[in-house]
Amino acid sequence: MRILILNHEYTPIGGGGAAASATLARQYVRYGHDVIVVTMGYKDLPSNDHIEGVKVYRIDCGRRRKEMASAFEALFWAIKAARFAIAEHDKKAFDATHCHFVMPSGIAGKYLQKKRNVPYFITLHGSDVPGYNKERFRFLHRIVARWWLEIVCNAKNICVPSNSLMELLKLSYDGEKSTIVPYGFESDFFKPKAKIKRILLCSRLVERKSFHIFLKAISDLELSDWEIDIVGDGPMYPLLVKMAEKSLTKVNMLGWIDNSDPQLAEIYGRAMIFVFPSVWENLPISLMEGMSAGCAVICADVAGNPEVLGDCGLMVKPKDEQGMRNAVIELINDPERCNKLGTYARERVEKQFNLRLIAKKYLKLFGCPDNGCSIYN
């Protein structure tokens, strides 16, 4: 098959949605398919790239921030991506379009369907569903509600990574053409290494991730020989820097590190504890990364987090400072339990979110069943 992937964020820019689409793209190629990715340009990233068999085209839309795009940048990209997709289809026809996010990717996917009759499939990532990200998109979703519903209803299938997101989706769409398909994960990259006394937090630094709540919870704890690493960038970065300076336990603000950078895998691999206090999630990739790296996990008991973690870590109520504080103290005082939880967590990721199996589910939806492709293994 010839598959077009549309996503305004694709590694090395963006967050979990970028990582999820990149891993799928690589697996489609491994199964022998021709994959074209159309994404956003950013600064000096090449406009035409070839990554592990995936052809990546980055369209310049004046994107200013690596971790997220503005609504205007997203709309501008969708218009240009739609035109680009038509031109590429006319050179050699696409069999299916895989859109990541309803908007802006679905705008381009729907246009290609209308003009060239190419079916499009949408993977939801959370912020593209009304009611998910109220801090950024509450009013925007109201403005585009009819347009959003038209894109969803015309898709061949809506792929929803988690049960919690499916329930939220049903408040705006009847779910008639929706399927639960979890994110696939490559556990070979994030592996356990020799553990040291490090606590890791990694994500986009936005308010709902609640990293500031965590730092407040442990600010007066002097954890002997322990350090805290925070990886990421975003609007909360300046506040977190100020809070880090006041913490009795050393906090290292490491900034943005690309998801595919070996340095990030090293940071995950050496961390003994991974903390993910986010108050609302779909199916967090960063949580899978921590589990895959064999970390003992502490996370907020909300939405998609329990679906990922299962019983392989400690859960606390969202924004519960005392709960987070107690969980950290409990784990640092019990290294044997940390090791056991880390082992269980990695085993769960390998079993529940196997990329090869997830990619097969998508390909079957696209119209390429297992028995039609001898290269499946």
pLDDT in tens, 337-353: 999 999 999 999 999 99
> 86-100, 143-157, 163-177, 276-290: which has the highest mean pLDDT?
86-100
Domain assignment of residue 77, yes or no: yes
The tens digit of pLDDT for each residue in 22-63 reads 999 999 999 999 999 999 999 999 999 999 999 999 999 999
- State percent of the chain over pLDDT 90: 80
User: What's the structural domain count of the chain?
Assistant: 2
Residues 6 or more apart whose CB falls under 8 angstroms from that of 359 comprise 24, 27, 28, 31, 184
Alpha-carbon torsion (235, 236, 239, 242), positive or negative = negative
Residue 189 lies in a domain: no
Place of tokens 């403005």: 143
Percent of the chain with pLDDT over 70: 96
Rounded-to-integer distance, Cα 52 and Cα 217, Å:
42
pLDDT value for 134: 66
CATH of the domain at 240: 3.40.50.2000
For residue 175, pLDDT over 80 is answered with: no
377 lies in some domain? no
pLDDT tens for 178-226 read 999 999 998 889 999 999 999 999 998 999 899 999 999 999 999 889 9
**Domain that includes residue 52, residue range:** 2-184+354-372
| The amino acid at 264 | L
Which of 83 and 71 is assigned the larger pLDDT? 83
Q: Are residues 50 and 168 in the same domain?
A: yes
| Whether residue 139 sits in one domain with residue 220 | no
Residue 321 has pLDDT above 90, yes or no: yes
Asked if the structure places residue 175 within a domain, the reply is: yes
Q: Do residue 175 and residue 294 come from a single domain?
A: no
- Is 153 a member of any domain? yes
Instruction: Look at residue 237 and tell me whether its pLDDT is greater than 90.
Output: yes
Q: What is the mean pLDDT of residues 127-137?
A: 78
Q: What is the spatial distance between Cα 115 and Cα 109, in angstroms, rounded to a whole number?
A: 10
Tokens of 339: 């090791």
- The pLDDT, as a whole number, for residue 216 is 96
Q: How far apart are CA 120 and CA 197, in angstroms?
A: 47
